A and B are shown apart, each in its own frame.
Chain A
């Protein structure tokens, strides 16, 4: 066993090297990635999320949407993400530089949401879907998020502007209406902000 000492040293160093290799080198390679100006449109991409969408991200985080929804589009020819209409191009590192936490996700019990803001731009659809997914997608196993909504009596016989328009079998009792709470509004603002369509050169 004269090689013992050599093996010993090699292994401890390799342990350290995995950290250097998998964390530190990437840190220098893309830890400080900057936004770029898209040539065609002249806009700067990506933009940090503002106000309501940013709060919505934390609603998304605390309700654990990530355990059923990914936010990453795999390249064409690897899986069917693009064919399913989940994106027009693959996701790249630059799409995420302002996200914290980065919600790539590892589970697709539900569809990928990278581009949900583009695929489903209707606020009303999202409110109904969150209130009870069976309204828009019968047979879904996404849980209803009723606790993000408030059931309240209709005041002076005038239905509020933002009350949900629900089909009869989901509607509340007569004289009541359902309105989204602040969290639900923020969450939908966040969902609508999810679009990674800018044609980045590295994503071709």
Chain B
């Protein structure tokens, strides 16, 4: 690694920028190698959180159709396990792998090695400590019962510190980039790193540390919870899509103009959407109306992004057959469009009247966070991990199992539950149907969901096994042929034919 050209920590923090005269960009191998330790920490812990979160999800899912299951302990009761699940997968799996992917993309696009990896490692340690304390807090009954902000007041500041460190690192990395031009993914990433700490700190102050009064809490709550999706996860997910699709098929994005336009229209409309979670609720009508309008306006960025991705992929869909990353990414990109359209529909009052308060919302949340975001993260990790460890994925079979299990599992989860939730809403809005009949009607769908969840669990275990295996391989000496294939050296296909 070119140690001479990377600044010391003190230099980096100095507002007077030292001249960065090495205009030769770092090589890919250099960048990837510099990412190894910090990224692996985030990825390992993220995947452990994924397994924990999956376990909690299964427990919660079974409980909904089998209420006596594990009902003897307060820390395993439904109202505890469900927020514990949400927070492990959101702040554990999705945020940690999201940060890892974002850091790697940042280094690749800035064409600079990951400098000051110590900051990132410390941040990862803090993040995990804060989250562990918080999850135990939820299990112990300290959940705040504020959706998406259940982590108790004694753990969220630790997460914030960690995030501040990552923010500082991003600024430094950005300042010392060796490629002056910016790619659209960097727009998204910088925006996400700017928006999230702002959202998280404001929401925690106004709801947990110094709570505001009355239903204003609900306004802050949904302003935050909706924006975490739109201004934290969505930008990271889209940044990865914008990088990986062109990179893998070797063809630039269809229209760079459209991609920039999509970014800005997202920034403009998304942050006004949150109040559509409160349609019909005890808040002023104007507030909710603004959000409904903004939600419908989301059609613009969503359609823009969808067209752009589709046109880029046009004629290259068969590449999905050969590339694990591309499979996950394309499925994720399509789910993004679907999730957004479903979200827009749910913001329309006559539709919301039916589906609000039902399992439809749960299905929608999983379409967004799982079928879109988690799939993008899986795909990105399939690309990144071999490059930072310099080893090939040990088993193609496990990749197939992972893909098909989560792909089928997610369809079996989302489609039936969306329909079930819609029917549930229709029944609930018919006062002649007794409530227990509504409950009974949802049970088959809930059972089906447990099955789908089991399938997804199989996929996660396959992925984790493959990951542990590749880590184990790191202990073995480096082998040339492996690296050649990773770099996509031409002629792979022809080699395949000889053997």
Contacts and interface: CB of A to CB of B under 8 A. Distances in A.
A44 interface: no
B118 interface: no
Contacts of B284: 26, 29-30, 93
A103 interface: yes
A2 interface: no
A144 B71 CA distance: 7
Contacts of B213: 31-33, 97, 100
Interface string A63-85: 11111101010110011100110
Contacts of A67: 78-79, 82-83
Contacts of B252: none
B458 interface: no
Given A15-B271, A22-B272, A90-B282, A33 B141 contact: no
A146 B71 contact: yes
B481 interface: no
A60 B202 CA distance: 25
B430 A65 contact: no
Contacts of A96: 214-215, 282
A96 B217 CA distance: 10
B291 A22 contact: yes
B141 A62 contact: yes
Interface in B275-300: 275, 277-278, 280-284, 287, 290-291
A89 B98 CA distance: 45
Contact of A108 (B215, B271, B357): B357
Contacts of B359: 109
Interface in B112-127: none
B179 interface: no
Given A99-B214, A143-B67, A92 B282 contact: yes
A133 B362 CA distance: 24
Interface string A8-42: 10110011001101110011011111000000000
Nearest to B199: A19
Contact of A21 (B142, B145, B272, B357): B272
B63 interface: yes
A80 B429 contact: yes
**Which of B215, B277, B358, B431 has the largest count of A CB atoms less than 10 A from its CB?**
B215
A104 B439 contact: no
Interface stretch (B204-212, B305-313, B371-379, B386-394): B204-212
A162 interface: no
A142 B282 contact: no
A94 B213 CA distance: 10
B18 interface: no
B435 interface: yes
B283 A93 contact: yes
B439 A141 contact: yes
Interface of chain B: mostly helix, strand, loop or mixed: helix
B72 A147 contact: yes
B283 A63 contact: no
Nearest to B66: A141
Nearest to B86: A67
A190 B83 CA distance: 22
Interface in A100-150: 100-111, 133, 137-148
Contact of B214 (A72, A102, A139, A140): A102
B195 interface: yes
B394 to A, nearest CB: 40
Given A18-B271, A26-B216, A101-B211, A143 B71 contact: yes
Interface in B426-450: 428-431, 435-436, 439-440, 442-443, 446
B139 to A, nearest CB: 10
A84 B435 contact: yes
Contact of B272 (A18, A66, A138): A18
A107 B357 contact: yes
Given A11-B264, A104-B218, A141-B443, A22 B274 contact: yes
A22 B287 contact: yes
B80 A14 contact: no
A193 interface: no
A78 B280 CA distance: 7
B219 interface: yes
Contacts of B267: 11, 14-15
Interface string B241-265: 0000000000000000000000010
A78 B440 CA distance: 24
A158 interface: no
A52 interface: no
A54 interface: no
B489 to A, nearest CB: 37
B214 A31 contact: yes
Contacts of B271: 14-15, 18-19
A22 B147 contact: no
**Which of A62, A103, A105, A133 has the largest count of B CB atoms less than 10 A from its CB?**
A62
16 contacts: A22-B275, A26-B283, A32-B213, A61-B145, A62-B142, A90-B282, A91-B281, A97-B213, A101-B207, A104-B278, A104-B281, A109-B64, A109-B439, A140-B436, A140-B439, A147-B77
Interface of A: 7-8, 10-11, 14-15, 18-19, 21-23, 26-27, 29-33, 60-68, 70, 72, 74-75, 78-80, 83-84, 90-97, 99-111, 133, 137-148
Given A74-B353, A102-B218, 12 more contacts: A22-B223, A22-B275, A61-B143, A61-B145, A64-B78, A64-B143, A66-B79, A78-B280, A95-B282, A96-B282, A108-B428, A143-B79
